[in-house]
Homo-oligomer: A and B are copies of this chain.
Amino acid sequence: MKKPNLYTCLSPALLDLYDVNNSVVVVIDILRATSTIATVLYNGAKAVIPVESVEKCIRLGKNMECITAGERDGKVAEGLQYGNSSFEYPRDFIAGKILVLTTTNGTKLLHMALTKGATEIITGCFLNLSAVCGHLINMKSNVILACAGWKDKVNIEDSLFAGAVVAKVKTHFEVKCDASHIAACLYRQAKGDLYEFLKANDASHYHRLTGFGLEKDIRHCLTEDIANVLPYYVDERLIVGK
């Protein structure tokens, strides 16, 4: 039997090159949207509603009595209640609640995948690496690992995660995709210590976040399987999936 195809799309600006409407799309925004999403759902939130703008976040928060969250330039955005750090969402705070989260790169990419008719959209990060990989293997569908990057530029940490997935699932897929091999190569070189790799390569996002004093957040976002749920997009929200 022919194996399904796996592709890695290193930037949202390249998504048009892939056959989205015939694929499961894994949205990847390691620092920090998809890491926050995994944490919040793992800690018992009912759902996360990803929105692009602060305005929409405020509006939904009022209408639905949700918690609103999002940052701009490393600070909680004006009008919102919480930020993008996983540490703000312990179980005893977030369990049973709905979080409306505004992020820029990750949310935009998720909505692009939706518009282009993705078969299914899930979000991935190191915190739920095994859940994502297990699901992809079970689905036996074509897969696009879609990196959010930074304002359409390729970034190291999203590429690294794509590489981690490729390394774990490649025997189940046809991987005729140079970007996937590049990502896997990057991960091979980095996996001994992902944090040190970002630091040694002066990853732009590492640089930006450490400038805000967020080393601990970065380390958290690079830890495998500590919030091992599958965020699954349905009815405009992410919930814990199958």
Interfacial residues, chain A to chain B (CB-CB below 8 A): 10-11, 13-14, 17, 150-156, 159, 175-179, 181-182, 184-186, 188-190, 201-205, 207
Contact = CB atoms under 8 A, between A and B. Distances in A.
Contact of A156 (B10, B156, B178): B178
Contacts of A175: 202
B156 A182 contact: yes
Given A10-B10, A14-B11, A182 B186 contact: yes
A181 B202 contact: yes
Contact of A201 (B13, B14, B155, B185): B185
Contact of A14 (B13, B189, B204): B13
Main secondary structure of the interface of A (DSSP, over half): helix
A92 B177 CA distance: 40
Contacts of A181: 156, 201-203
B154 A176 contact: no
A201 B166 CA distance: 12
A232 to B, nearest CB: 28
Closest 4 CB pairs of A and B: A181-B201, A156-B178, A155-B178, A154-B179
Contacts of A156: 178, 181-182
Contacts of A13: 13-14, 17
Given A11-B14, A13-B14, A17-B153, A203 B189 contact: no
Contacts of A201: 178, 181, 184-185
A2 to B, nearest CB: 16
A159 B182 contact: yes
A152 to B, nearest CB: 6
A176 B201 CA distance: 10
B185 A189 contact: yes
Contacts of A10: 10, 154
A182 B202 contact: no
Nearest to A204: B178
Given A14-B153, A154-B182, A185-B201, 14 more contacts: A10-B10, A13-B17, A14-B14, A14-B152, A17-B151, A150-B178, A153-B178, A155-B178, A156-B181, A159-B178, A159-B182, A176-B202, A178-B201, A181-B203
